[in-house]
Structures are given as C-alpha cells and as structure tokens.
Amino acid sequence: MNDMSKDKNIDIQIYNFAYLDENTKRMIRRALLKALCIPGYQVPFSSREMPMPYGWGTGGIQVTSACLIPKDVLKVIDQGADDTTNAVSIRKFFQKTANVAVTEKTSDASLIQTRHRIPETKLKEQQILVYQVPIPEPLRFLEPRETETRKMHALSEYGLMFVKLYEDIAKHGHIETAYAYPVKTNGNYVTDPSPIPKFDNPKMNNNPAIQLFGAGREQRIYAIPPYTNVKSLDFEDYPFEAMKANFKCSICGSSDSYLDEIIVSDDGKRSYICSDTDYCKEQTQLNSKEEDQ
C-alpha cells in the first residue's frame, strides 16, 4: 500500500512531450528542415489527426509540437487576438501537454503560433512564427488538379496567377485580393502567405525571425527562412500596395496598425480597433505614461 502512495511521484507519462509521439515528430522535423532549405516549396507530410477539427489549426499545432522545447515561451494569436477561443484553446493545449510558459507579449515569446495575422511588434532573430494554413496551394482555386499545380511550380509557370490579378484590374480597376495575397519567395516559388491581410505581406520580407507554415488537412509544410526575399506579386503599372482601413484605433489611437471594424450600436454605428490586442495594450500604456508626465 505504501508503494501506491508513492505512485503519484513516479514518472507517469500521460502524453509525450508536446503531445505528438517521437516517430511523428521525426517525420515532421525532416519535412521542416527540407522546407527551410527550399524556401516557399510545399513539402508533403503525413499529417496526423489532432484532438481538434480541421480548420482550427491542426497543421500549425503539429509544427509547434515538433518545434517546442521546455524553456519556450509560447504566444498564440487568432486574427491578432490572444483572447479568442482558438488562441485560448491552443495555448491551454500546450500548457497541458508540454508544460511551457505562455505570454501575450510578442517581444517575450520565443514561439508564436498565429492564425491570419503577423504581430505588429517587430520580430527578432530565432523567434519562430508558426502560421496555421487552410489552403497552402496558391494556385488551387485556379487549377484544382494537384498533378498540374505541382508541374506549374516545377516549371515556375505562374502565368495563370498573373492572369487572375490582371482580370481583377480589368474588372475592378485595381487588384481585389485583400488577404492571402500571393508572394514570390526567394525569387522562385509562388507561395500562399496564409489568409493574412495584405497589410501584413511586407512584414514577411527580410524578417529576422523563422516563419513556418503548417496545413493539416492539406498535409503540407513550408517555410520562409529569416532574411529571405518575399515579394508580393504585382505589375509595374499597378504596384503592390499594403492596405488598411483609413481610421485610428478607438482604444489606443494608433493609426499605423491593422484595424478591425466593429459595429457598436443597433443603428449600425461603426468603430475601429487594433486587431493585434497586445500591440493595442502596449500603445494604451505608452499613452497613459505620456499623460502622467
């Protein structure tokens, strides 16, 4: 009976560190390293079923799981916010399965998993940004056959994508694509930046941090190493333009961060707030400090 009471302290492994088993991690890790060696190329991997539905970040969570180390400080954002369901659940998941520290501060985090935003605060060397990706193939809506898109990438045959952007201009007078705006990585592969607003595209270029992309349902991993040339596709006479709503955040007053539109009254009055909650908090604190002085 005495032995039973001691059991509490015995190594009972309920999960392997960061949930995934070692063999799965090896497979993902090989894919990740090849992805870093071939920037923008989508490496197929045998994606696992995760304890959450597809579309909730099963790809991102597998990449995070393969990269996480015990002394990591993890931040998870969903559309820039730390406090939305998806972000909270994934953060809790890794607290439980990897016992890592968590933070909401971009500058304190060593690994950031994100859905659809790049933080406003500049990233640093050796920080890892993991993107959750729904459709990793930028050509998929133009050409549904994987065999064909694979050939198109192999031949750098991206005419179809330019025709799509051109048709936008012919129809609307400007390029309509406002999110998941295609980029060319290291002068070679056209890459889907995941559904981030095109406002965030310039942040991918020459970023000191490591950018990793995981698409669980589509079983693809790709990467943009640090200091890599990432160019948003455009035309000489219709150059790429990063866009945002032309307002100020109604909480912190920032005019240079990406804004969400919210409806604040029954008669449809609108207001704009920062989509990056950590940045907004920081700006608010800075403002109140200035007022105190």
- Chain residues binding other proteins by CB under 8 A are 8, 11-18, 22-23, 25-27, 29-39, 41, 43, 66-70, 92, 95-96, 98-99, 125-126, 128, 150-151, 153-155, 186, 188-189, 208, 210, 225-229
* Residue with smaller CB distance to other proteins, 227 or 235: 227
- The reply to whether 274 belongs to the active site is yes
- The reply to whether 253 belongs to the active site is no
Instruction: Name the catalytic one among 37, 252, 253, 268.
Output: 252
Q: Could you tell me the CA-to-CA distances from 4 to 7, 10, 12, 14, 15 in Å, in that order? A: 5, 10, 13, 18, 21
Instruction: Name the catalytic one among 40, 57, 214, 216.
Output: 40
Scanning the structure block, which residue is given the tokens 């597809």? 54
User: How is the chain split among helix, strand and coil, in percent rounded to 5?
Assistant: 35, 20, 45
Q: How far is the CB of 262 from other proteins (least distance, A)?
A: 31
- The reply to whether 37 belongs to the active site is no
Own/partner pairs, 46-55, CB within 8 angstroms, 24+ separation = 46/219, 47/215, 47/216, 47/217, 47/218, 47/219, 48/20, 48/24, 50/216, 51/93, 52/89, 52/93, 54/216, 54/217, 55/134, 55/217
* Residue with smaller CB distance to other proteins, 85 or 99: 99
* Residue with smaller CB distance to other proteins, 79 or 114: 114
* Residue with smaller CB distance to other proteins, 22 or 176: 22
Instruction: Name the catalytic one among 187, 249, 253, 268.
Output: 249
Catalytically active residues, by annotation:
40, 249, 252, 274, 280
